[in-house]
Structure 1
Amino acid sequence: MMTTYTVSQGQLQVHEGEAACLDGAVWIDLLNPNRAEEQAVQARLRVEVPTREEMQEIESSSRLYREDDALFLTAPFLHGVENNEYGSTAITFVLTNTALVTVRYATPRAFSTFAARARRTPGQLLGSPDAVMLHLFEQVVDRLADILERVGADMDKASQAAFRSARGTGKANVRDADLKHALLTLGQVGEVTTRANETLLGLNRILSFVAAEKALAVRKENQGLIKTLTRDVRSLVEHAGFLNSKANFLLDAVLGIINVEQNAIIKTFTVASVALMPPTLIASIYGMNFQEMPELNWSFGYPSALVLMIGSALLPIWYFKRKGWL
């Protein structure tokens, strides 16, 4: 679907689908475009809209390049955070002197948020094609910052609950549930930070490329945004790396707690099996059906065997406790 944004005398006009109007449009947003929409944009702006296969290429020369007066900028963007279905989708920005074209096959929340903001303040956000692109990047960076803050807070809550349960003497099923929740949260943090870092690195490459071409691609009043965005992106890259390192540390700690508890369980079973070996041996001896057994006709044979089995079971337990193994 094609959506066009046109600003005329301070008023924003938004057209979607078949009603989309390319004349005077400052932002042309292509979501899952069909061939007819691609041809209409190519005829209007005289630029070739990249295909989905071309957008997936990972070479830097295929993602960032210039053709005549148009810049073609492609980067992966995080999406699906709202549904806990994290993914990355390649989005291409085609920046010309008259319009910005975005080609995408998914809708990150930053795009819908920016479109809503643009409806309220079109003059500020949609003043020029380069302003649209830079303010859209600004919205993406703000969204990533919110996501990283949220996953960081979730990680802290999960780790605190896991350590609190490990230190306490509560029920084992509650402790296991807290540890499981902590593991799932830490895995989620690793997934989010990895994909967010991928988005941030892609943005950083785009901003570096645009900065080199800013004399021709970016108006003078918008060039300050490039430095601000570059600084914000680098700080978020550092923060994402910090969260990833913290998640790895907490993951090792939680796995260590689980190993300690599993060792305690195995030790309990080991002690129980060792304690039951002598009684089992005694019961096996007196369970044999030999005719000549001295204790077979003894009136105190049965209680004596029971006392002997109990004593042989308690003796290893006493020894283990004395050694500090229990």
Structure 2
Amino acid sequence: RARLRPGSVSNAKDVLLDLYSTDAEYSADALEEVYENLELAGKRVLQDDITDNDAEEVLETIAKEEDTNGRIRRNVMDTRRALSFLMRSKLLSDEQQEEARQILRDIDSLENHTAFLFDKINFLMDATVGFINLNQSKIIKIFSVVSVVSVALMPPTLLASIWGMNFRYMPELEETWGYPVAIISMVISAMIPLWYFRHKGWLSSR
């Protein structure tokens, strides 16, 4: 920077201010990279077919960028305190005071940007966790339906087991109406629990 502006550096304070200005520029570039990474993570979160593995990777990315954003914010706050001290101590010339004020204005913009990124991080974190919970709810619902159907099939299974016993005296097996009555009984014994579960909303499609 000093080589690009011959005569701009006359003492150590000019060098220090240039270092602070360069630090602010590097912080701005780092924040832009954080924003781009969060944008990519946001696109993955808003996919219709996001999986738990995708959500886990997104959470790792968000956590990493949150840490980077926090480090940048802490860095610019330290720079602000150092510049404020220099300006209050009246060690700077008028030109250096103006340069310090310009750096502080840049830092104000960076702090606003870090606050915006923190809000974006919180939104993406909530959205990702919400999708994970939604996927888990779908899985739980599937298992609930399977469990309900299994319970509903227990009565006809019990009837079939009873009529499948090899006892010598089972008079209903000798009757002509025995087979259709057995089938109808098993169907009814399965339909009654299913009707009850649907009435309770346990088989609701919503």
Whether TM exceeds 0.5 here: the answer is yes
Q: Tell me, in whole angstroms, the C-alpha distance in 2 between the residues paired with 1:314 and 1:150.
A: 61
Partner residue, 2:153? 279
Tell me, in whole angstroms, the C-alpha distance in 2 between the residues paired with 1:231 and 1:122: 21
**Paired position in structure 1 for 2:75:** 199
1:262 is aligned, of 136, 147, 169, to: 136
Secondary structure of the residue aligned to 1:277 is: helix
* Structure 2 residue aligned with 1:176: 52
User: Is 2:111 aligned against 1:232?
Assistant: no
Partner of 1:14: none
Equivalent position SS for 2:81:
helix
Larger Rg: 2
- Corresponding residue number in structure 2 for 1:316: 194
Alignment gaps of 5+ in structure 1? 1-116
For 2:171 and 2:39, the matched residues in 1 are separated by: 66
**2:155 and 2:190 in contact (8 A); partners too:** no
Distance 1:155 1:273, change over 3 A: same
Counterparts of 1:99-248 in structure 2, within 5 Å, are 117-118=1-2, 120-121=3-4, 123=6, 126-163=9-46, 165-166=47-48, 170=49, 175-213=51-89, 215=90, 217-248=91-122
Partners of 2:187 and 2:8 in 1: CA distance: 86
Q: Distance in 2 between matches of 1:258 and 1:240?
A: 27
How far the C-alpha of 1:218 sits from its partner, in A, is: 2.5
Please tell me the root mean square deviation across aligned C-alpha atoms, in Å: 3.6
C-alpha distance in structure 2 between counterparts of 1:321 and 1:314, whole Å:
10
Change (3 A) 1:321 1:278: closer
Higher strand fraction: Structure 1 or Structure 2?
A: 1
> Do the aligned partners of residues 137 and 308 (structure 1) sit closer, same or farther apart at CA in structure 2, a change above 3 Å counting?
same
Name the SS of the counterpart of 1:325 in structure 2: coil
> Residue type of the partner of 1:159?
G
Answer whether contact 1:182 1:254 (CA < 8 A) is retained: yes
Asked if 2 retains the 8 angstrom alpha-carbon contact of 1:186 and 1:251, the reply is yes
User: Could you state the TM-score of these two structures normalised by the residue count of structure 2?
Assistant: 0.78
Distance, in Å, in 2 between the alignment partners of 1:270 and 1:293 is: 40
* Letter aligned with residue 195 of structure 1: R
% same residue: 24
- Higher helix share goes to which structure? 2
Q: d(CA) in 2 for partners of 1:121 and 1:240?
A: 30
How many angstroms apart in 1 are the aligned matches of 2:18 and 2:129? 43
Quickly say closer, same or farther: Cα 1:207–1:182, change in 2 above 3 A.
Answer: same
Indicate the structure whose relative CO is greater, using CA pairs within 8 Å and at least 6 residues apart. 2
Contact 2:148 2:197 in 1 (8 A): no
Displacement after TM superposition at 1:264 (Å)? 1.5
